[in-house]
Amino acid sequence: MNIAIVCYPTFGGSGVVATELGIALAKLGHQIHFMSYKQPVRLNLLNPNIHFHEVNVPQYPLFLYQPYELALSSKLVESIKKYDIDILHVHYAIPHAYAGYMAKKMLAEEGIHIPMVTTLHGTDITLVGNHPNYKPAVTFSINKSDVVTSVSQSLKDDTLRLFNIKKEIEVVPNFIDISQKKTSFTDCQRELMATPDERIVTHISNFRPVKRISDVIDIFYNIQKEIPAKLLMVGDGPERKPAEQKCKELGIKDKVIFLGNSNEVDKILCFSDLFLLPSERESFGLAALEAMMNKVPVISSNAGGIPEVNLNGISGYLSDVGDIEQMSKHAIDILKDDITLEIFKEKAYEQAERFDVNEIVPKYVAIYESALAIH
């Protein structure tokens, strides 16, 4: 199939999932055309089946906001015709499903009919899409998609609760490529980050308020009082500066390393002992799954779809949002002795295997095939 994938190119999980999906489909022999305003961070173009088409938005001083949707839908129309695209898969409803629908309508005028699959990722529904200023357009473009998928059952339930959706929503969980882990472990340089007696605790996100970065610091503060430890903070965003300030005030600044954005998270996770994800909301928690693939147990909140990924008492522990005391206690329980830690590490890996690329990508292929069959 010739497949167009529209996604955000930045460090957010939706762009990562879209990119990994395109790479997996390209390995299966499909021609993949990524459309975005920048090359997605995890996209390695050294594959003859992968193509990247940059969406350029001309800057015009009259506009306070440049019309990205227009540029995207025009680019889609042009590329779908030029590359004989069979299927359009948009990740993140805003504005991709909307622009995709406009492209479909323009193409239909020329007698070209192409099915559109929309994958909902979370913030497009729970945080942004539900805003009254966006809600009618988001509802419309979900209902006008040929197939709608969501990355967790929890997100499906939220979508049906918050929007007037007439379409069936199919749950297709996010995935990881377990085989990648086995090959990248030689690069693991734990000694650069911590002394042999220290545990390494890690958090990865885009440091937005929804990630509750302050809770991450509080939990680590409690851990390091009981167990020698370092905290690796990977990513960047609005909560980074306040977090750095908080570490200074708590007197733990030498134990917390802010690494900034990285597209090589496996090289950090491979020597991590525990992952913290105390989010306020999380439709899935891809970062937690990536940790588990690297045998890192997870201390998380029980928000949204996280319980579908992290199993309480098995791959880590779950607590109510904001329950710092319980999260700290559970973290210390896992880290306090090598045998317990090893058991949790193995169980985290076993749970991650359920989300392997080979289990999940065929579900998308089947969706494309049935969308093409009925279109």
Which residue ranges make up the site for ligand GMT (CB under 6 A)? 12-14, 17, 92, 121-123, 151, 174, 205-206, 210, 281-286
CB of 261 vs ligand GMT, minimal distance in Å: 12
Comparison of 86 and 239: residue with beta carbon closer to ligand GMT: 239
User: How far is C-alpha 350 from the chain's CA centre?
Assistant: 20
What burial class does residue 336 get, using C-beta atoms within 10 Å of its C-beta: 0-12 exposed, 13-18 middle, 19+ buried? middle
Comparison of 221 and 284: residue with beta carbon closer to ligand GMT: 284
CB of 265 vs ligand GMT, minimal distance in Å: 12
CB of 83 vs ligand GMT, minimal distance in Å: 26
Catalogue the long-range contacts made by 130-139 (C-beta closer than 8 Å, 24 or more residues apart): 130/162, 130/163, 134/94, 135/163, 137/94, 137/95, 137/98, 138/93, 138/94, 138/97, 138/98, 138/163, 139/163, 139/164, 139/165
CB of 307 vs ligand GMT, minimal distance in Å: 12
Comparison of 14 and 73: residue with beta carbon closer to ligand GMT: 14
Comparison of 153 and 222: residue with beta carbon closer to ligand GMT: 153
For residue 245, give Cα distances in angstroms to 214, 252, 323: 10, 10, 22
CB of 11 vs ligand GMT, minimal distance in Å: 8
87, β-bridge pairs: 3
Comparison of 205 and 294: residue with beta carbon closer to ligand GMT: 205
CB of 279 vs ligand GMT, minimal distance in Å: 6
Tokens matching residue 166: 């007439």
Q: Phi/psi at 119 (nearest 5 deg)?
A: -105, 125
Comparison of 115 and 285: residue with beta carbon closer to ligand GMT: 285
Q: Checking phi first, is residue 195 left (phi over 0); if not, alpha (psi -120 to 50) or beta?
A: beta
Tokens matching residue 134: 């966006």
